[in-house]
């Protein structure tokens, strides 16, 4: 498709990106139900074409959210269970408590709870978006060593939670955006930021 000579053979598909936001379904129980009503026929269609696909659906990083509770509600069983491979929680962290974001330890506690619930339902966890917060007032914050150390803490912690199968892997990004692993300098050169260097080092260990 789109000029490629053969299928890309992608086996894992996430249905939606943060659909719990207020601009989409909202993070309420009703929002989760509305999302599942839209996602369900899409999943059925995909699995009809290829039953070996691994379908994952997004969760909020906060394990106690209404969205998560409804998506993973076993009684009555959510209509997606039995057809999905994993759930994909997202979270952004910061060691600065003034930002209101959770720190890596709080994220790991929440993800551990999600992983335990998922395990009891026979599904895996794939960590979706996770990164150090990069506020507009300090757009490099998440990519300097402060962000790299927090990201390292998070990745190490994810590796110790048995039901987490994968964590996403960001190295390169749009140099004009707030969260940019590569920074375009004023003189036209580029700098690989600390968090990108961390991921590049991890890549050698995969």
For residue 122, give its domain range: 12-203
- Six-digit token pair at 40? 């369900």
Instruction: Confirm whether 1 is domain-assigned.
Output: no
**How buried is residue 169: exposed, middle or buried, by Cβ count under 10 Å (0-12/13-18/19+)?**
exposed
Instruction: Confirm whether 157 is domain-assigned.
Output: yes
Instruction: Confirm whether 61 is domain-assigned.
Output: yes
For residues 113 and 40, what is the distance between their CA atoms, to the nearest angstrom? 25
Instruction: Confirm whether 60 is domain-assigned.
Output: yes
Instruction: Confirm whether 97 is domain-assigned.
Output: yes
Q: Is 98 helix (H, G, I), strand (E, B) or coil?
A: helix
Instruction: Confirm whether 143 is domain-assigned.
Output: yes
Sign of CA dihedral 138, 98, 145, 112: negative
Q: What is the pLDDT along the chain (206 residues), one digit of tens a residue?
A: 567 788 788 999 999 999 999 999 999 999 999 999 999 999 999 999 999 999 999 999 999 999 999 999 877 777 788 899 999 999 999 988 888 899 999 999 999 999 999 999 999 999 998 988 888 788 888 889 999 999 999 999 999 999 999 998 776 566 666 677 888 889 999 988 998 888 888 877 66
* CATH number for 48: 3.20.20.80
| Of 42, 22, 44, the residue nearest 31 (C-alpha) | 22
Say what the pTM is. Answer: 0.89
Instruction: Identify the pLDDT of residue 125.
Output: 97
Number of domains in the chain: 1
Instruction: Confirm whether 104 is domain-assigned.
Output: yes
Sign of CA dihedral 45, 67, 21, 177: negative
Instruction: Confirm whether 106 is domain-assigned.
Output: yes
SS3 content of the chain, % helix, strand, coil (to 5): 35, 20, 45
């Amino acid at each position: 498709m789109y000029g490629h000579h053969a299928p890309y053979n992608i086996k894992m598909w996430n249905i939606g990106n943060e659909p719990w936001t207020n601009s989409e379904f909202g993070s309420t129980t009703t929002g989760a139900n509305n999302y599942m009503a839209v996602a369900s026929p899409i999943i059925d269609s995909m699995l009809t074409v290829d039953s070996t696909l691994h379908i994952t659906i997004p969760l909020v990083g906060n394990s106690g959210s209404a969205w998560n509770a409804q998506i993973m509600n076993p009684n009555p069983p959510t209509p997606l269970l039995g057809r999905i491979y994993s759930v994909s929680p997202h979270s952004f962290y910061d060691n600065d408590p003034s930002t209101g974001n959770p720190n890596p330890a709080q994220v790991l506690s929440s993800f551990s709870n999600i992983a335990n619930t998922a395990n009891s339902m026979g599904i895996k966890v794939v960590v979706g978006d996770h990164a150090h917060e990069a506020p507009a007032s300090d757009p490099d914050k998440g990519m300097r060593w402060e962000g790299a150390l927090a990201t390292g803490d998070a990745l190490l912690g994810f590796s110790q939670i048995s039901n987490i199968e994968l964590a996403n892997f960001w190295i390169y990004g749009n140099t004009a955006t707030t969260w940019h692993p590569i920074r375009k300098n004023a003189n036209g050169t580029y700098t690989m930021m600390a968090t990108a260097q961390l991921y590049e080092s991890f890549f050698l260990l995969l």
